[in-house]
């Protein structure tokens, strides 16, 4: 079965982005780098693509120029075991120019969208009493980084 590899288009920061992502995610590494030749279209010797793995998932970053930008139409979901993991990824990915979005969404400093989702979110959403769901959803919609203890409090009427 063929494997699907996300291919990320950067203006000229593919190598910087790959280095950043491999520093954030454990068990990650750069697997190869290709460079433009005199045939172009980039400057000869400059980075064309960087292949990398984030905890076993393969990605490729391309320095393709300013033609395309990232949008929220595509995002990467990080399923976190606990609040500590949420806090870690949230702080790392919003650092140095990243921005917080609503309900666990953020953009990193390169403009790539991520969803940082704690395992406890689905537990709260699936077990909260029906009459408490409006309070849970109201609490969730006010959050940037998802805080499970606050959702649990809303589900319990605290």
Are 14 and 8 in contact by the 8 Å Cβ rule? The answer is: yes
Among the residues of 7-82, which ranges form H helices?
14-24
pLDDT tops 90 at residue 157? no
Q: Based on the domain organization, do 122 and 95 belong to the same domain?
A: yes
51: exposed, middle or buried (Cβ count in 10 Å: 0-12, 13-18, 19+): middle
At 99-156, the pLDDT tens digits run 999 999 999 999 999 999 999 999 999 989 999 999 999 999 999 999 999 999 999 8
CA distance 103 to 11: 28
Q: Based on the domain organization, do 41 and 57 belong to the same domain?
A: yes
Q: Based on the domain organization, do 103 and 157 belong to the same domain?
A: yes
Q: Which of 27, 53, 68 is the last residue of a domain?
A: 68
Number of domains in the chain: 2
Three-state DSSP state, 69: coil
Which residue range(s) make up the domain with 146?
70-158
Q: Based on the domain organization, do 81 and 152 belong to the same domain?
A: yes
Question: What predicted TM-score, i.e. pTM, was given to this entire model?
Answer: 0.91
At 56-104, the pLDDT tens digits run 999 999 999 999 999 999 999 999 999 999 999 999 999 999 999 999 9
């Amino acid at each position: 079965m063929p494997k699907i590899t996300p291919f990320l288009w950067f203006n000229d920061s593919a190598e910087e982005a790959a280095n950043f992502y491999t520093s954030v995610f454990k068990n990650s590494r750069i697997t190869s780098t290709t460079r433009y030749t005199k045939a172009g279209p980039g400057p000869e010797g400059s980075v064309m693509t960087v292949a990398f793995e984030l905890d076993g998932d393969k990605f490729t970053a391309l320095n393709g120029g300013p033609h395309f930008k990232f949008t929220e139409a595509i995002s990467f979901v990080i399923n976190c075991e606990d609040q500590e993991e949420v806090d870690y990824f949230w702080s790392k990915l919003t650092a140095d120019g990243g921005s917080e979005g609503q309900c666990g969404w953020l953009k990193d400093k390169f403009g790539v969208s991520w969803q940082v989702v704690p395992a406890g979110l689905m537990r709260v959403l699936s077990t909260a009493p029906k009459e408490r769901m409006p309070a849970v959803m109201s609490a969730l919609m006010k959050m940037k980084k998802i805080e499970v203890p606050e959702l649990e409090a809303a589900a319990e009427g605290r």
